[in-house]
Structure 1
Amino acid sequence: MDNKSSLTGFSSLAIHGGHEKDPSYAHLVPIYASSTYVYDTAEQGMRRFSGKEEGYIYSRWGNPTMNEAEQKIAALETFGLSMEVKGILHASGMAAISTLMLAELKSGDKVLSHFSLYGGTEELIHRILPNLGIGSVIIDLRDLNKAEEAMKQDPSIRMLYIETPANPTIQCVDIEELTKLARKYGLIVACDNTFATPYLQQPFKYGVDYIAHSTTKFLNGHGTAIGGILLGKDIEKMTSNVTKVHRLLGGNSNSFDAFLLINGMKTLEIRMEKHCHNAVEVANYLDQHPAVAKVNYTGLATHADHYIALKQMRHPGAMLSFELKEGLQGGIAFMNKLKMCVRTVSLGTCDTLLSHPASMTHYSVPKELREKYGITDGLIRMNVGIENIQDIINDLEQSLSN
């Protein structure tokens, strides 16, 4: 079955995409728990290792369960687009981003990115890559003039790396315009699409070279497995150099986590619709609350990147953050009062998750540096879940009350 050409709906692709008939006629792809695979003859083994014959060799290099997850996500990211991409499943989003960086950057190169990034990505750029002679240029990429000036002035910039919407300030950058600039100066373009998912945003539509996801989040949707994927449109490069780097770094996924991911993705569309509907309601509620100083949600016309989000996203999404007027102590008090909503990091699960960066994920970061990135003492990040909307608002209301 040609899943890309014969299916016309996103949900159909999320359910059936990437699936191949199992030799034993299992309805769902089995969990292939074998570490290695056998050959009928020595000659067949030679053909497999030389690449002359397709087939599985070693599960660090891939297996049928992992392959279905890769093909399904690749199909979703290119839904409605006339193009082919290849995905490589990883043990985590950070493993996927590490493969990307080490496959495409060498000593003397630089990566151009922006201030509001996932903390792990930021640390990779600032703590790990410099040891390999790879530098960075960090600017506000929402200013296209600044972006072009950086590209023009520094020929050592090799990659443009963007994350939109970004974590935790929900900033958005213009994928299409930045990619046009990057093409002008011969840069590779990579985009972290975790917050949006392919249901809300398809960066390949705007010409990017790579997309990365933490599949742990909305793609899995249930908080049951860690994972990541790197997708690229240069098939030859993905099957050669990128695959080689991935295999040698050892950041491979496994069949059990891939199985959980596959089944989570089958409800991606209906989950995202409910997530997004609830997020709009929550954002409007918080925007009117006297204890809240500011709401960061691109669905609000007051958000600085509202029109960029409208341009490239199907919906503003399920993630938002808001600043409490009472600062650090107000944030701690609010978090302690929550009853139904969950105090934790991460995102993308069916339940509503809230974190207070100043006292949790960014506790060790100096205040002045946090605030430079828009992470104030009273900032709360919120993954709006798919519970009954009134129950979410009721919990917020009692937690915000004095």
Structure 2
Amino acid sequence: MGFALLVLPCRSKIKYVLFPQVQTNFPALTLKSTIKSMSEEKLPFTGFSSVSIHGNQNKHPNSAHITPIYATSTFTFDTAQQGMERFDGQQEGYIYSRWGNPTFTDAEKVIEALECFNLKDSNGAPLQVKAILHASGQAAMTTMFMANLKPGDKILSHYSLYGGTQELMLKVLNQTGVETIIVDLRDLELTERTLKENPGIRIVHIETPANPTIQCVDIEEVTRIAKRYGTLVTVDNTFATPYLQQPFKYGVDFVFHSTTKFLNGHGTAIGGVLLGRDIEFMNTRATKWHRLLGGNSNPFDAFLLLQGMKTLEIRMDRHCSNAVETAAFLEKHPHVEKVNYTGLSSHPDFKTAQKQMNHPGAMLSFELKGGIESGKNFIDKLKMCVRAVSLGTVDTLISHPASMTHYGVAKEHREKYGITDGLIRMSVGIENLPDILNDLDQALSTT
């Protein structure tokens, strides 16, 4: 028996360890077969990052380590019979990239695994959901609404929504005969009374934390009430990500993300995803509407999404730790009137956030003394933080909702929902914390 020398780094010292070289009498074919069968066994993942990196567990041609960009508009058939069976759904396989693509599939599988990580269904088995990747969060939301609603139906939602969502409801869906009712869903008695008085409500749509006031709705309690009235519940989980919040845990029917944001994390691609608990519905009606509306993703954006999700946990940890310190700094600053951050005990939804989120997150907003002029001056004087809409990228993004994301929302509606002229929204990045605070301080102090 011989010995092999293995060099192990150990901080500043080098360790030398002798391991015996074990010889085997197994034939090469037997050994390869054993290795193959062992490698095909799937281990249960114990951590979120493992799911983010290995959640799809698909093998690709030519032993590709990273999911390839399947830059093809269509796919071929070996025979006419095979083509017929794929169109008929008798055989799995790809047909046309508007209908599906291997790069999309891998991204969908990872997001399914993240939203269901450590969750069980009513029978105690691992929870299964179906994801459909879209060209944007708006496309994913449109598919869900169009697949579930008909003229005469109603949507129940709450104050302070992403401007695009509110405009979709009030300016597009209303033209199809769908009415939207807006109330404060944090008021559970009001929520139940509204459901009772409006039997036509088909969907309760929740965005929590909400954009940009960071209001939090109790997912569990609203879902419990909605189910008594046979109503579907949908949750926009973009701000929280599945790392901080898993709405399926509370029995909701659908979950959305703008994957453009934290899931991608680098501002390199637009995307969205719709996830549903009813897999038959997702494979049939939702899939049909998705294909007919044409809101499909594209292979390159799906590839970028896959790369971004691999670092989701470590990015979110830094985003969140920076946000906590930033919120505390702003709350004490003399030029700041109010800070909206669920990690502050002063936030009215502090307890709700504690109940359903693993951390308050990376999003906050704050009200400047002096209204719109102070807000514009502050934004103009930033030196490192980026003046931009969107959120969830590694750099800190700061925007002025009244003139940007919510410009299309009537002023009286904005102010009613807490989106005032002096409100600033901030997506806290992963830069070094002192640099973020120094930039904020110099911009605020000269406002």
Q: Is TM-score (shorter-chain normalized) higher than 0.5?
A: yes
SS at match of 2:401: coil
Match in the other structure for 1:63 = 101
CA–CA distance in structure 1, aligned partners of residues 362 and 194 of structure 2: 32
CA–CA distance in structure 1, aligned partners of residues 41 and 443 of structure 2: 47
The correspondence of residues 227-306 of structure 1 with structure 2, limited to 5 A, is 227-306=271-350
CA–CA distance in structure 1, aligned partners of residues 197 and 334 of structure 2: 46
Deviations 1:294-341 (A, max 9, x none): 000000000000000000000000000000011111001100100000
Match in the other structure for 1:39 = 77
- Given the superposition, is the C-alpha separation of residues 18 and 63 from structure 1 closer, same or farther in structure 2, using an over 3 Å criterion? same
Q: Say whether the 8 Å CA contact 1:3–1:18 is kept in structure 2.
A: no
| C-alpha displacement of 1:171 | 0.2
| C-alpha displacement of 1:5 | 6.0
| C-alpha displacement of 1:366 | 4.2
CA–CA distance in structure 2, aligned partners of residues 4 and 362 of structure 1: 46
CA–CA distance in structure 2, aligned partners of residues 365 and 330 of structure 1: 21
Q: Say whether the 8 Å CA contact 1:60–1:250 is kept in structure 2.
A: yes
- Matching of residue 191 in structure 1 with residue 230 in structure 2: no
CA–CA distance in structure 2, aligned partners of residues 72 and 2 of structure 1: 18
Match in the other structure for 1:168 = 212
- Matching of residue 149 in structure 1 with residue 193 in structure 2: yes
Q: Say whether the 8 Å CA contact 1:29–1:259 is kept in structure 2.
A: yes
Match in the other structure for 1:129 = 173
CA–CA distance in structure 1, aligned partners of residues 380 and 228 of structure 2: 50
CA–CA distance in structure 2, aligned partners of residues 187 and 334 of structure 1: 44
Amino acid at match of 1:21: K
**Identical amino acids, percent of aligned pairs:** 67
CA–CA distance in structure 2, aligned partners of residues 149 and 133 of structure 1: 23
| C-alpha displacement of 1:367 | 3.3
Q: Which segment drifts farther, 21-30 or 365-374?
A: 365-374
SS at match of 1:24: helix
Deviations 1:169-211 (A, max 9, x none): 0000000000000110000110000000000000000000000
> Where in structure 2 are there 5+ consecutive unaligned residues?
1-38, 120-125
CA–CA distance in structure 2, aligned partners of residues 64 and 35 of structure 1: 12
Count residues with an aligned counterpart.
402
CA–CA distance in structure 1, aligned partners of residues 51 and 428 of structure 2: 25
- Given the superposition, is the C-alpha separation of residues 363 and 109 from structure 1 closer, same or farther in structure 2, using an over 3 Å criterion? closer
| C-alpha displacement of 1:378 | 1.1
Deviations 1:110-143 (A, max 9, x none): 0000011111110010011111111111100000
Amino acid at match of 1:35: S
Amino acid at match of 1:6: P
Amino acid at match of 2:445: S
RMSD: 1.2
Q: Say whether the 8 Å CA contact 1:3–1:17 is kept in structure 2.
A: no
| C-alpha displacement of 1:46 | 1.2
Match in the other structure for 1:385 = 429
CA–CA distance in structure 2, aligned partners of residues 137 and 201 of structure 1: 26
Match in the other structure for 1:20 = 58
SS at match of 1:6: coil
Amino acid at match of 1:130: N
- Given the superposition, is the C-alpha separation of residues 202 and 9 from structure 1 closer, same or farther in structure 2, using an over 3 Å criterion? same
The correspondence of residues 3-18 of structure 1 with structure 2, limited to 5 A, is 6-18=44-56
Q: Say whether the 8 Å CA contact 1:4–1:79 is kept in structure 2.
A: no
Q: Say whether the 8 Å CA contact 1:73–1:87 is kept in structure 2.
A: yes
Amino acid at match of 1:331: G
TM-score between both structures, scaled by the size of structure 2: 0.88
SS at match of 2:132: strand
Amino acid at match of 1:318: A
- Given the superposition, is the C-alpha separation of residues 184 and 41 from structure 1 closer, same or farther in structure 2, using an over 3 Å criterion? same
CA–CA distance in structure 2, aligned partners of residues 332 and 106 of structure 1: 43
Match in the other structure for 1:139 = 183
| C-alpha displacement of 1:23 | 1.7
SS at match of 2:270: coil
CA–CA distance in structure 2, aligned partners of residues 4 and 366 of structure 1: 53
Amino acid at match of 1:375: I
